[in-house]
A and B are shown apart, each in its own frame.
Chain A
Amino acid sequence: MPDDNSRTVLVIDDDQDIVSLVAMVLEAEGYTVQTAADGREGLQKLERDMPDLILLDMKMPVMDGWEFAREFHARHDSKVPIVVLTAAADARRRAEEIGAQGWIGKPFDLDTLVVVVDRYATLREQ
Chain B
Amino acid sequence: MSNERPEARDWSDPLLRAIVATASLLTAATTIPFLLYGAGPVYGETAGYVPVMHGFAGLAAFIVAFLAFGRYQVLRDPASYWIGLSLATFGILSIFFILAWPGFGPGGEGIIARLPNTSGWIAVLELTTLSLLLLTATLVSQPRKATVAGRHWLWSVAAWLVLITLVAGLSVVFEQYLPAVIETEGGLSALLLTLDWLFLLLFAIGALLSTRRYVLTGDSLQGYIALTQVALVFVVLTALIGQRRYDLWYYVSRIYLVGGFLAMMFGLLSEYVDLYKREREARAEADARTGQIRSIIASMADAVYVTDDQGRVTLTNDAGESLLGLRNLMGLDLLARTLPGPMQMRRLDGTPIARLDMPLARALAGETVETEDILFHNSQTGGDVYIRVSAAPIEWDGRIVGVVLVAKDITELVEVDRMKDEFIKVAAHELKTPVAIMKGYAQAMERLEKATPEQRRNMVGAIDRGADRITRIVEDLLDISQLQLGGLEMRKERVILPELVHAVVDRMALLAPKHHLRVTRAEPVVLTGDRERLEQVVVHMVENAIKYSPKGGDIDVAVDVRDHEAVVSVTDRGVGIPRDRQARIFQRFYRAHTGTPYDYGGMGVGLYISKEIIARHGGRMWFESVEGKGSIFYFSLPIGDGHARR
Residues on A facing B (Cβ under 8 Å):
14-15, 17-18, 20-22, 24-25, 28, 59, 61-64, 87-89, 106-110
The reply to whether A64 and B599 form a contact with Cβ atoms under 8 Å apart is yes
Q: Across the two chains, which residue of chain A brings its CB closest to B595?
A: A64
The reply on B12 being an interface residue by CB < 8 A is: no
The reply to whether A61 and B443 form a contact with Cβ atoms under 8 Å apart is no
Residues on B facing A (Cβ under 8 Å):
425, 428-429, 432-433, 435-441, 443-444, 447-448, 450, 455, 458-459, 462, 465-466, 550, 597-601
The reply to whether A107 and B429 form a contact with Cβ atoms under 8 Å apart is no
B210 to chain A, nearest CB (A): 92
- Contacting residues, chain A, for B443 (C-beta < 8 A): 109-110
Contacts A24-B455, A87-B429, A107-B440; is A61 near B448 (CB within 8 Å)?
no
- Contacting residues, chain B, for A24 (C-beta < 8 A): 444, 448, 455, 459
23 contacts between A and B (CB under 8 A): A14-B600, A15-B437, A18-B437, A18-B440, A20-B458, A21-B441, A22-B440, A24-B459, A25-B447, A28-B448, A28-B450, A59-B601, A61-B550, A61-B599, A62-B598, A89-B429, A106-B433, A106-B436, A107-B432, A107-B436, A107-B438, A108-B436, A109-B439
Within the complex, which residue of A14, A61, A63, A107 is in contact with B439, where a contact is CB–CB below 8 Å? A107
The reply to whether B598 and A61 form a contact with Cβ atoms under 8 Å apart is yes
Q: How far is the CA of A78 from the CA of B458 in the complex (A)?
A: 36
The reply to whether A61 and B597 form a contact with Cβ atoms under 8 Å apart is yes
B416 to chain A, nearest CB (A): 22
Q: How far is the CA of A88 from the CA of B436 in the complex (A)?
A: 12
B295 to chain A, nearest CB (A): 53
B542 to chain A, nearest CB (A): 19
- Contacting residues, chain B, for A20 (C-beta < 8 A): 458, 462
Contacts A17-B437, A18-B440; is A62 near B448 (CB within 8 Å)?
no
- Contacting residues, chain A, for B436 (C-beta < 8 A): 18, 87, 106-108
Q: How far is the CA of A88 from the CA of B425 in the complex (A)?
A: 9
The reply to whether B597 and A15 form a contact with Cβ atoms under 8 Å apart is no
Q: Across the two chains, which residue of chain A brings its CB closest to B465?
A: A17
- Contacting residues, chain A, for B462 (C-beta < 8 A): 17, 20-21
- Contacting residues, chain A, for B598 (C-beta < 8 A): 61-62
The reply to whether A87 and B433 form a contact with Cβ atoms under 8 Å apart is yes
Within the complex, which residue of A61, A62, A89, A108 is in contact with B440, where a contact is CB–CB below 8 Å? A108
Q: How far is the CA of A62 from the CA of B595 in the complex (A)?
A: 10
The reply to whether A25 and B437 form a contact with Cβ atoms under 8 Å apart is no
- Contacting residues, chain A, for B448 (C-beta < 8 A): 24-25, 28
B119 to chain A, nearest CB (A): 113
The reply to whether A87 and B432 form a contact with Cβ atoms under 8 Å apart is yes
Given known contacts A15-B433, A21-B444, A22-B440, what 11 new A-B pairs fall within 8 Å (CB)? A18-B436, A21-B437, A21-B440, A24-B455, A28-B450, A61-B600, A62-B550, A87-B433, A89-B425, A89-B428, A106-B435
Contacts A17-B465, A18-B440, A61-B599; is A107 near B550 (CB within 8 Å)?
no
